[in-house]
Amino acid sequence: KPRVAILISGRGSNMMSLIEAASRPGFPAEIALVLSNRPDAHGLARAQAAGIAARSLDHKGFADRASFDAALDALLVEEQIDLVCLAGFMRLLTAPFVETWAGRMINIHPALLPSFKGLHTHERALEEGVKIHGCTVHFVTPEMDVGPIIMQAAVPVLEGDTPDSLGARVLAQEHVIYPAALRLVCEGRARLEGGRVVIDEFEIAPPAL
Ligand code: GAR
């Protein structure tokens, strides 16, 4: 089974959805490590409580992004990690690190990419008045929130929504598609080929047109 590392910076609800999915019989991956760039991340305690090795690598201890990313890479190699899942990891990664892990690193973003890259996605979706919002799992490429898309889920924007109410509706779908996308990648059914995603078979049937 591929050894997966989950990188977090905070509460770790997506991390928990991956840990729970991977604990079920037949899941094609093992969550070998949870790593936070913030020592105080709430998710670290949750990972430990679930019996997963949890470590922090405080970015404040490094002179620059390159040296932090080099230490991160060394740790992942030492732990024999095959695949990296970014799950609320709120730190930009350098191009050399991303290139090293190309095709072996995925991220979840709380919007329907390519709309609403970056931060405060739910607030911005409400400001724009979109009627459909959602989340995206994608392979990570050096440019932020641009990577080839593996899976998306859409939710309606409802009258009277606040960033919190809309965010909660999106988060529930994040917890569905992230484990499903990880499964596809681990089974080799979703992969990066020539900069594009090739998907053999959908876990979740695409909507009929
Ligand atoms: C999630 O909504 C995730 O999509 C988002 O942060 C939240 C983390 O929550 N990620 C990003 O914004 C990446 N730029 P969690 O720690 O409970 O999974």
Q: How far apart are CA 124 and CA 87, in angstroms?
A: 21
Three-state SS for 177?
helix
What's the burial of 159, exposed, middle or buried (CB within 10 Å: 0-12/13-18/19+)?
exposed
**Which stretches of the chain are assigned E, i.e. beta strand?**
3-8, 30-36, 54-56, 83-86, 105-109, 132-139, 149-156, 190-193, 196-199
| pLDDT in the model for residue 145 | 86
| Rounded distance from Cα 209 to ligand 1 centre (Å) | 30
Q: Residues of the chain with pLDDT > 70: what percent?
A: 96
Name the residue of 170, 171, 182 whose CB sits within 8 Å of the most ligand 1 atoms, as the mutation to test its pocket: 171
Write out residues with Cβ below 6 Å of ligand 1.
Answer: 8, 10-15, 43, 87-88, 90, 108-110, 171, 174
Q: Is the pLDDT of residue 206 over 90?
A: no
Of 42, 59, 109, 133, which is the active-site residue? Answer: 109
DSSP run (H or E) holding 20: helix 13-22
What is the pLDDT averaged over residues 24-42?
Answer: 97
List the structure tokens of 22: 């991977």
Q: Is the pLDDT of residue 101 over 60?
A: yes
| Rounded distance from Cα 15 to ligand 1 centre (Å) | 10
| pLDDT in the model for residue 144 | 86
| pLDDT in the model for residue 204 | 57
| pLDDT in the model for residue 90 | 95
Three-state SS for 71?
helix
Q: How far apart are CA 51 and CA 199, in angstroms?
A: 32
What's the burial of 160, exposed, middle or buried (CB within 10 Å: 0-12/13-18/19+)?
exposed
Q: Is the pLDDT of residue 203 over 80?
A: no
Cβ–Cβ under 8 Å, residues 20 and 51: no
Q: Closest by alpha carbon to 94, among 64, 137, 74, 114?
A: 64
The one-letter amino acid code at 141 reads: T
pTM of the model: 0.95
Could you give the angle at which helices 42-49 and 13-22 cross, rounded to 10 degrees? 20
Q: For the segment 128-166, what is each residue's pLDDT rounded down to a tens digit?
A: 999 999 999 999 998 888 889 999 999 999 999 999 999
Q: What is the pLDDT of the chain when averaged over all its residues? A: 95
Q: For the segment 178-200, what is each residue's pLDDT rounded down to a tens digit?
A: 999 999 999 999 999 988 999 98
Catalytic residue list contains 109: yes
Q: For the segment 52-61, what is each residue's pLDDT rounded down to a tens digit?
A: 999 999 999 9
What is the pLDDT averaged over residues 70-82?
Answer: 98
| Ligand 1 atom nearest to CA at 8 | 16
Cβ–Cβ under 8 Å, residues 69 and 93: yes
| Ligand 1 atom nearest to CA at 135 | 4
| pLDDT in the model for residue 62 | 96
Supply the residue whose CA is at minimum distance from atom 7 of ligand 1. Answer: 88
Q: For the segment 102-129, what is each residue's pLDDT rounded down to a tens digit?
A: 999 999 999 999 999 999 999 999 999 9
| pLDDT in the model for residue 209 | 44
